[in-house]
Amino acid sequence: MSIIVRRLHRGLMLAASLALLSSFLVYLLYAINLIPFPFDYDQGEGFELQDTVLFSQGQLPYRDTEVYPFYSSNYPPLYHMLAAPLVWIFGPAYWYGRMLSFLASLASACAIGYAVYRDGHRHLWLAALSGLAFLASNFVYHIGPLFRQHTLMVALETAAIVILARAFPQRDQRGIACGLLLLICAGYTKQLAAITAVAALAWMFLRQPRAALRWAVGFIGLGALIFLWLNLASDGHWWTQAIVANVNQFHPFQAFGLFVLWFQLHGFLLVPAGLLMFYETYFDRLSIYAIWFFFAALFGGIASGTWGAGDSYFTTSIAAACILSGICLSRSVKGAWRSPPWLQRVLGQVDGVAWPILLLAPLLYFGYARATLKMPTQGAFAPLANLLRVEPNTRESFYDSASYDVPGYANIGFFVSEEDEAAGRRIADLITQSDRPVLSEDAGFAFAAGRDIVSNPTQLRNLYLAGSFRGDRLIEMIETTQFGLVILRAQFYPTPVLEAIGRTYERWQTIRMNRFDYLILRPKSGATE
C-alpha cells in the first residue's frame, strides 16, 4: 500500500508540474511576443513610457493639465525612475518597461516559492509549484509583461512580507528595516500597496505592540517626507494628480463579478489557504501571510470595482494565497500537523502521512492549472488545442478560461501579429504627414512619429469628474482645429472634450490593431482653422 501510494503521489506531482510548466510556457511565449511590440497593447502603456521619458529628462510628470500639452500622470514615480536610465541609452521604447514588469513577476514567483520552502518544512517540489501557480493565474498573465507598474508593486510587496515574516518575530532590526523600506518602495510604485502596508503594521502590532508602534512612526514619517517633497517639487500637482484623480466611481456589480471570477479561477488554492487561516485562528497564531491575504482580498477586491480598476487588483491576494496554500499542502505532505489518533486511524497513514493528502495535494495544483487555462488556438498551438478540444472563446484565436464576460476583466492576453504592427505603422505614418499636433488616446503612435504626447485621456476624465479640470484651452484648440488628427479607441476623454471633437472633426479612416478599432478623425470641411 505504501509503495503504491508513493508512486501515485509522484506520478500526480509530475502531472501537476507538467501542467503548470505548460502554463508558464504560454506565459513566456506571450511575453516574448509582446515585449518588442512598438505600440500600445494595453491602453495607457504609452503614458507610462511618457512618464519614464520625463523622469529621464529630470522632470516630474505631475503637471498642470490646463495648459498644453495637457499631460499629467496619476502614478507614483519609482517604476518610471527605474526605467528612466534606459531612455538615455535606447531612447523611448516599450520593451524595457515590459521586460522590467516581466522580471518582476518572476521575482514574485521566486519569493513565493522561497516562503513556502522556508515556512512549509522545506518541501522543494511544492514550493516550486506554488511559485508556478502564481504565474499561471489569468490575472497575473494579463499584466505580467505590460509596461505598467502594478507587477513591480506586487513583487516589492511580496518580498517585504516574506522578509518581515521572519525578521519581526526574531527582532532582526536590519530585516525589519529592509521589509518596511520595500513597502515604502511598493507604495511609491503604486498607491494600492497601502493595503499591504496596513496589513503588515496590523500584524506587527498583534505580535509586539510597542515595537510595532516604534517602527510605524519611522515608517509613516519617511513615507510622509517623500510625499511632502513630491508635492512641493510639483507645486502641489502631486496631490491633485496622484490622489484626487484616483478617487473614482465605484461599480458594485463589477467588484462582485470579479470576486466571483477570482474564486472560480483560484478556488483550488483558496480552499487550502482558507484552511490554514482557520487553523492559525483557532490552534496557532495568525501569520503575516493570513493577515496580508485577508486585507488584500477584501480591500483589493473592493477597489477592483472602481472605474479604471479591474482583475489586476486581486494580484496581491493571489500571491498571498499561493504562499498560504503552499505552506498548508507542504506541511500536510510532510506530516507536520498534529491530529488525534482516531483521525489517523480513519484516514490511514503512509510513512506518517495520511494517504489521501499525498494524492490530494498534486490534484489541487493540477485542477488549478486546468481552471486557469489560457492559450492561443491557432498556429503552433493548433495541434495542442485540438488535442485538448479547446476552441477560441475570446478574440478570434485565443482561449481564456475566464472569458471576457465579467466587467473589469482585461480584454487582453492574445498574441500580437505582424498585421497589428503594420496597422500601427500606418497610423504613425498618418501622424507624420500631418503638419499639426495630433490628439491621440494612445501615445505610441506619437512616439513612433516623433511628435508631442498630447493629453492623457483617462487622467483628464478623472480630474473632470473630480471637479479639477475645465479643459478650456484644450477645447479651444479642438474647436479651432489646431490638431491635424484626432485618434480615438475607447473615447475616454471628458464629455465636453468628446462633444467638441464631435462638433469639429469627422471620421476619416478606421484602422484595426490588436483587435480594437482606432477611429482616425480629421477636421470637418469648413471647420475653423
* Per-residue confidence in pLDDT tens, the chain, 529 aa: 478 878 898 999 999 999 999 999 999 999 999 999 999 999 889 999 999 999 999 999 999 999 999 999 999 999 999 999 999 999 999 999 999 999 999 999 999 999 999 998 889 999 999 999 999 999 999 999 999 999 999 999 999 999 999 999 999 999 999 999 999 999 999 999 999 999 999 999 999 999 999 999 999 999 999 999 999 999 999 999 999 998 889 999 999 999 999 999 999 999 999 999 999 998 889 999 999 999 999 999 999 999 989 999 999 999 999 999 999 999 888 776 655 554 444 444 555 566 678 888 999 999 999 999 999 988 888 888 888 888 888 767 889 998 888 888 988 899 999 999 999 999 999 999 999 999 999 999 999 999 999 999 999 999 999 999 999 999 999 999 999 999 999 999 999 999 999 999 999 999 999 989 999 999 998 665 5
- Residue 498 placed within a domain: yes
Among candidate residues 371, 403, 434, the one where a domain is terminated: 371
Residues 366 and 462 grouped into a single domain:
no
Residues 224 and 119 grouped into a single domain:
yes
The confidence score (pLDDT) of residue 381 equals 85
Q: How far apart are CA 251 and CA 255, in angstroms?
A: 7
Residues 248 and 128 grouped into a single domain:
yes
3-class state of residue 453 by DSSP: coil
- Residue 107 placed within a domain: yes
Among candidate residues 312, 340, 371, the one where a domain is terminated: 371
The confidence score (pLDDT) of residue 333 equals 83
- Residue 410 placed within a domain: no
Give the pairing type, strands 485-488 and 438-440.
parallel
- Residue 54 placed within a domain: no
Q: Tell me, yes or no, if the pTM score tops 0.85.
A: yes
Of the CA atoms within 13 Å of residue 457, those in its CB half-sphere come to: 23
Q: Which three cell numbers stand for residue 174?
A: 536590519
Of the candidates 397, 254, 274, 367, the residue with the CA atom closest to the CA atom of residue 23: 367
The confidence score (pLDDT) of residue 338 equals 59
Indicate the helix (H) or strand (E) that contains 506.
Answer: strand 505-513
- Residue 505 placed within a domain: yes
Q: Which residues pair with 506 in a beta bridge?
A: 522
3-class state of residue 451 by DSSP: coil
Q: How far apart are CA 86 and CA 97, in angstroms?
A: 9
Contacts of 164 (CB under 8 A, 6+ apart): 175, 176, 179, 180, 200, 203, 204, 288
3-class state of residue 402 by DSSP: coil
Residues 322 and 460 grouped into a single domain:
no
Residues 288 and 422 grouped into a single domain:
no
- Residue 395 placed within a domain: no
Contacts of 23 (CB under 8 A, 6+ apart): 132, 135, 136, 369, 372, 373, 374
453-466 residues labelled b (16+ CB within 10 A) or e (exposed):
bbbbbbbbbbbbbe
Cβ atoms of 94 and 38 closer than 8 Å: yes
Cα–Cα distance list, 340 to 161, 326, 336, 343 (Å) = 33, 23, 13, 6
Q: How far apart are CA 277 and CA 204, in angstroms?
A: 17
Secondary structure (DSSP) of 30-92 = HHHHHTT--S-SSTTHHHHHHHHHHHHTT--S---TTSTT-----S-SHHHHHHHHHHHHH-S
Cα–Cα distance list, 381 to 21, 66, 390 (Å) = 15, 49, 10
Q: Which domain range does residue 475 map to? A: 418-523
Report how far Cα 524 is from the mean position of its chain's Cα atoms: 40
Of the candidates 159, 38, 130, the residue with the CA atom closest to the CA atom of residue 514: 38
Q: Which three cell numbers stand for residue 434?
A: 500631418
Q: How far apart are CA 17 and CA 21, in angstroms?
A: 6
Contacts of 122 (CB under 8 A, 6+ apart): none
Q: How far apart are CA 401 and CA 496, in angstroms?
A: 39
What's the full length of the chain, in residues?
Answer: 529
- Residue 86 placed within a domain: no
Q: How far apart are CA 161 and CA 363, in angstroms?
A: 28
Cβ atoms of 487 and 518 closer than 8 Å: yes
The confidence score (pLDDT) of residue 515 equals 87
Per DSSP, 467 falls in state T
Report the side by side order of strands in the sheet with 505-513.
438-440, 485-488, 516-523, 505-513
Cβ atoms of 78 and 188 closer than 8 Å: yes
Instruction: Tell me if the bond preceding 36 is cis, omega within 30° of 0.
Output: no
Q: How far apart are CA 311 and CA 450, in angstroms?
A: 34
Q: Which residues in 248-360 belong to E strands, given as ranges?
A: 349-350, 353-354
Alpha helices (H) along 208-314 = 209-233, 237-238, 252-283, 288-303
Residues 428 and 364 grouped into a single domain:
no
Q: What is the CA radius of gyration of the chain?
A: 25
Q: How far apart are CA 407 and CA 482, in angstroms?
A: 36
Residues 309 and 439 grouped into a single domain:
no
Residues 231 and 106 grouped into a single domain:
yes
The number of domains in the chain is: 2
Residues 273 and 192 grouped into a single domain:
yes
Residues 271 and 171 grouped into a single domain:
yes
Residues 193 and 331 grouped into a single domain:
yes
Among candidate residues 313, 339, 371, the one where a domain is terminated: 371
- Residue 75 placed within a domain: no
Residues 185 and 304 grouped into a single domain:
yes
